[in-house]
Amino acid sequence: METTHKGKRRKGRGWLAWGLPTLIGAAVLISVTALVLGLKGLSDAACAAVLPKALAVPAAVPQPGDSRSGHTTFFDLAASGGSGCSYDGPPADGMYLALGFDEFANGAACGTYFNVTGPNGNTVRVQVVDSCAPCAPGHIDMSEKAFSQLADPEAGDIQVTYRAVANPSLPGSLKFKAQEVSEYYVAVLPINHGNQLTRVEINGGNGWQTGTRRGDGYYTADNAGSGPFQIRLTDIQGHTTTVSGVDLSGGSTTSTGVSMYSGSGGGRQTTTTKKSTKSPSASASPKPSHTITLPPAIGATDAPTPSEPAVGRPDTTNLADPKQC
């Protein structure tokens, strides 16, 4: 123990008497700690490398023609808190799907359709209506009704192959659900568009504004005008649809009576005039119209059949046992 004298520190014993053993001990302790942490880091890295990347799934919405192998569970949309895509409820046929955050891609997958093939060979078509927080890449979550057509729900979790559908048959005409509408800001949710949307443009009298997609499926635009609105949608298959005379009001859904695309494509351009459920204001009185432009060689995918084969390159990589990580 050191002693002090008149405010000055007396010399202690030479460092060789106690410093060297202490330094050696500290060095040994640091080495052991580093070794343990290093081994743990390697273990964690190995688990992280195997589990999330086992299916080599990119952080984007799966595209038509890209067949993926994975597994599915099932859930109840109402019991889970409702649609992450801001839909008012499940589709009328009760066939719906939730994707993990990577494949949900911040709402870009909302409203798209997938064919899912189960171990019994049956294929069901489901619509993306929600995201699944605990779903890693390759894990999807379906409605119980859809799951039950692939296996007994008692199974709980089954292996499947799933892929996006190009130009699926649509349950109805385009609808636009408005959350907020003013001259300075509009938030609108397209419904019944079928394919993944690549661009949403809004014109409420101030010229075309490109919408910004939110994670809940809504597209927002600043200073678009007070309406009535023109809304132009472009999808990943090359369809461009413009709907005019859309009367939006916050908290309501407007039916347009027109479709995002029609028939089997083939390069036709069709122009129709339809009336919306809500009439435009008398002062503007635009003529509601709908224009669809179909690119060449775009075909619709018909409803799946029980014998429909899986396509693409199923990934057979085995997942690591989570218990080991």
pLDDT tens digit string along 65-83? 899 999 999 999 999 999 9
* Cβ neighbours of residue 71 closer than 8 Å, sequence gap 6 or more: 138, 139, 140, 157, 158, 159, 160
Given this model, what pLDDT does residue 64 score?
A: 92
Token pair, residue 170, equals 């649509």
CA distance between the termini of the chain = 48
Last residue of a domain, one of 125, 147, 165: 165
H or E stretch covering 242: strand 240-246
- Using CA atoms, how far apart are residues 74 and 40, in angstroms rounded to an integer? 35
Tell me, yes or no, whether 224 and 150 share the same domain.
no
Mean pLDDT, all residues of the chain = 74
182 domain residue, yes or no: yes
Alpha helices in the chain (DSSP H): 15-53, 101-104, 144-148
Note whether residue 215 is domain-resident: yes
Whether 16 maps to a domain, the answer reads no
Domain count, the chain: 2
Produce one character per residue of 3-20: b if its CB has 16 or more CB atoms within 10 Å, e if not. Answer: eeeeeeeeeeeeeeeeee
182 pLDDT more than 80: yes
**What is the model's pLDDT at position 300?**
37
For residue 30, being part of any structural domain is answered with no
Domain that holds residue 128: 68-165
**What confidence tens digit (pLDDT) does each residue in 109-161 have?**
999 999 999 999 999 999 999 999 999 999 999 999 999 999 999 999 999 99
Phi-psi region of 113 (alpha: psi -120 to 50; beta: other; left: phi over 0): beta
Residues 193 and 264 in one domain: yes
Co-location of 211 and 286 in the same domain: yes
- Write down the pLDDT at residue 207: 95
What CATH code is carried by the domain that includes residue 72?
A: 2.40.40.10
SS3 content of the chain, % helix, strand, coil (to 5): 15, 30, 55
The Cα–Cα gap between 304 and 288 comes to 35
Domain-embedded: residue 52: no
Residue type present at position 230:
Q
Whether 160 and 186 share a structural domain: no
The answer as to whether 218 is a domain residue is yes
**CA 191 – CA 145 distance, rounded (Å):** 22
Residue ending a domain, among 143, 165, 187, is 165
Q: Is the dihedral of CA 145, 153, 147, 191 positive or negative?
A: positive
Q: What percent of the chain has pLDDT over 70?
A: 62
The answer for residues whose C-beta is within 8 angstroms of residue 291's C-beta and 6 or more apart is 241, 242, 269, 270, 271
Boundary residue ending a domain (165, 192, 222): 165
- Residue 20 domain-assigned? no
Is the four-CA dihedral 94, 100, 104, 107 of positive or negative sign?
Answer: positive
